[in-house]
Amino acid sequence: MRKLLTVILCCVAGLSQAASNFSFDVAPGQHGVGLRVVEQYDYARSYLGKYDVVTGKPVSGETARPMQTVIWYPAAKSGKPVSYGEYFRLAASEERFGRSDAVINAELATRLNGTPGGKEHAGEEMARRMWAVRDAKPASGKFPVVIYAPSFGAHSYENADLCEYLASHGYVVIASPSMGAHGRSMTDDVEGIEAQAADIAFLIGYAHTLPQADTGNIAVAGYSWGGISNVFVAARDNRVKALVNLDGSVRYWPERIQEAKYVQPSRLTVPMLFLAARPRSLEDLAKRGKPVTSFLNEMKYSDVRIVTLPAMEHFAFSSDALRFMPSSAYSEYSAAEVSQSHSWMARYVLQYLDAYLKQQPSAKTFLDNEPKKNGVPDHLLTVSKTLSTGAPPTMEMLAHESAKSGFADVQQVYEGLRKADPKFELSESDMNNWGYGLMRAGDTQGAIAVLKLVTVLHPDSGNAYDSLAEAYETAQDKAQAIEHYRRSLKLDPKNANAVQHLKLLGAPL
């Protein structure tokens, strides 16, 4: 064990450890837990500029984005588990790999002095043993993947207890620190969210290199700021099969979602579990000066389950925070009650993942049960759910549903999607390109059906009729081709293409 941790352990070894304010009272699964840390770079993205933003001196060394990657995985039950201090140590090498022990120890000493409960309490927590064994032998088989996205500027291990718990129950869990686009400090803007979303995407790609990883079943779990970044990821990556939000910022930063035009309810069909802190009063919400709205209510094409835990404030969703929180931080609810709630949070996360990634009927039953039937103590949590209203109004879904009839009822399908969401509309250009795509694919009749719809939606467009005429010409329907070239020319007398094709077809102008 490294020098600083050895000193701490020696200081507390002769003492009876004081009771921790955090107790994780969940049962581990059938697997042991392996822990591996990989120091790698995302060479597709720059991280540092030419000059250091603090000292102003030229930057030396690697400037690509550092990705300290922490992996928890199902493993054989053998070996000595790590202490929490070994997780704590990771924070000192997130940006700069290969730092000396002396530099790391100095930074950790500073961090120890700054912990909320004081240095002595921090030392006791760091000496406590976890479940994970460093570089343990992996269990055989394939396991679903959970990417964990930490909170605003937080470390990869902020919920190490939850990550170990999931790994023991058969999940490969991967995390990296929450860092800003061009420095360690996260920024509370879209660029900051996009930086973390790109980190998640990098980790999804990395998961494909792991022999244990079942990359056909991927979930993204995020706490606080990580719980808005994972929504951004799911809006553009359909490989994500489930979302877990631990009091995620998707609820608290609606303006950031509005700024990102692509984060739309129609692009989020993935099921979500939202674990919520104690509800805020209307007065408190008004003080925030932000729109009183919830994107969760707009996710009508997703199954959304909300588990509310009244004993938990926002910080309580991080086991790292709970470990170092002094007793004075607890008032209305005791530390024991908060720990109990945190443990039930973890149980619901596991059951949710088992239901949606492993398709376990017992887990789905658990989610549908009243909390008391699951053994939850009275008044500890409440559960609500809203189910998807059906297919989302998107170009992809329009194509999918229309293809079922060979595109014969494309207009009816389009009108149905518009009825579900009046904001849904496709540009003439998009529809026109779709029709030509079908022609290139050899489906001329499908192209005719789609291009007919374009003329219905854009009756004054000469180009729409010109495209439909080309489709009829390709189908060797000379009469219809001539008719629609003439309609195109009437709407657009300068349409040289229509003139040329009418001549080729031997039709008078």
How many other C-beta atoms lie within 10 A of the C-beta of residue 305? 20
Q: Where on the phi/psi map is residue 61: left (φ > 0), alpha (ψ -120 to 50), or beta?
A: left
Q: Are residues 236 and 119 in the same domain?
A: yes
**Cα-flanking dihedrals φ and ψ of residue 110, to 5°?**
-65, -45
Residue 350 lies in a domain: yes
Please state whether beta strands 382-386 and 304-308 pair in parallel, antiparallel, or not at all (unpaired): antiparallel
Burial of 54 (0-12, 13-18, 19+ CB in 10 A): exposed
The order of strands in the sheet holding 382-386 is 132-134, 32-46, 64-75, 172-175, 143-149, 213-223, 240-246, 272-276, 304-308, 382-386
3-class SS of residue 126: helix
3-class SS of residue 72: strand
Domain tally, the chain = 2
Q: Are residues 450 and 478 in the same domain?
A: yes
Q: pLDDT tens per residue, the chain (509 residues)?
A: 344 444 444 443 333 355 688 999 999 999 999 999 999 999 999 999 888 877 889 988 899 999 999 999 999 999 999 999 999 999 999 998 988 889 888 888 888 877 776 777 788 888 999 999 999 999 999 999 999 999 999 999 999 999 999 999 999 999 999 999 999 999 999 999 999 999 999 999 999 999 999 999 999 999 999 999 999 999 999 999 999 999 999 998 989 998 998 998 888 999 999 999 988 766 676 676 666 678 898 898 999 999 999 999 999 999 999 998 888 888 889 999 999 999 999 999 999 999 999 999 999 999 999 999 999 999 999 999 999 988 889 899 999 999 999 999 999 999 999 988 888 888 999 999 999 999 999 999 999 999 999 999 999 999 999 999 999 999 999 999 999 999 999 999 999 999 999 999 888 87
Q: What is the pLDDT of residue 12?
A: 39
Tokens describing residue 392: 């989302």
DSSP code at position 120: H
Check: CB of residue 274 under 8 Å from CB of residue 245. Answer: yes
Tokens describing residue 99: 């730092």
Q: Are residues 25 and 143 in the same domain?
A: yes
CATH of the domain at 500: 1.25.40.10
Q: What would the DSSP string read from start to end of 381-429? A: -EEEEE---SS--SHHHHHHHHHTTTTTTHHHHHHHHHHH-TT----HH
Residue 509 lies in a domain: no
Check: CB of residue 202 under 8 Å from CB of residue 129. Answer: no
Q: Are residues 382 and 403 in the same domain?
A: no
Residue 271 lies in a domain: yes
Q: Are residues 358 and 476 in the same domain?
A: no
Q: How far apart are CA 258 and CA 305, in angstroms?
A: 23
DSSP code at position 369: S
Q: How far apart are CA 351 and CA 358, in angstroms?
A: 10
What pTM was estimated for this model as a whole?
A: 0.87
Check: CB of residue 499 under 8 Å from CB of residue 477. Answer: no
Q: How far is CA 334 from the centre of its chain?
A: 32
Q: Are residues 342 and 445 in the same domain?
A: no
Q: Are residues 226 and 264 in the same domain?
A: yes
Q: What is the pLDDT of residue 289?
A: 67
CB proximity list for 254: less than 8 A, separation 6 or greater: 290, 291, 293, 294, 295
Q: Identify the bridge partners of residue 42 per DSSP, sorted by sequence position.
A: 65
In 3D, which of 375, 334, 332 has the Cα closest to residue 351?
375
Q: How many CA atoms lie within 13 A of 480 on its CB side?
A: 15
Length of the chain: 509
Residue 100 lies in a domain: yes
The parent domain of residue 467 ranges over 395-504
Q: What is the pLDDT of residue 211?
A: 97
CATH of the domain at 103: 3.40.50.1820
Burial of 41 (0-12, 13-18, 19+ CB in 10 A): middle
Q: Are residues 110 and 141 in the same domain?
A: yes
- 321, 351, 386: which is the final residue of a domain? 386
**368-385 tens-digit pLDDT:** 999 999 999 999 999 999
Q: Are residues 374 and 434 in the same domain?
A: no
Residue 15 lies in a domain: yes
CB proximity list for 297: less than 8 A, separation 6 or greater: none
In 3D, which of 228, 384, 368, 367 has the Cα closest to residue 308?
384
DSSP code at position 129: B
Q: How far apart are CA 72 and CA 334, in angstroms?
A: 30
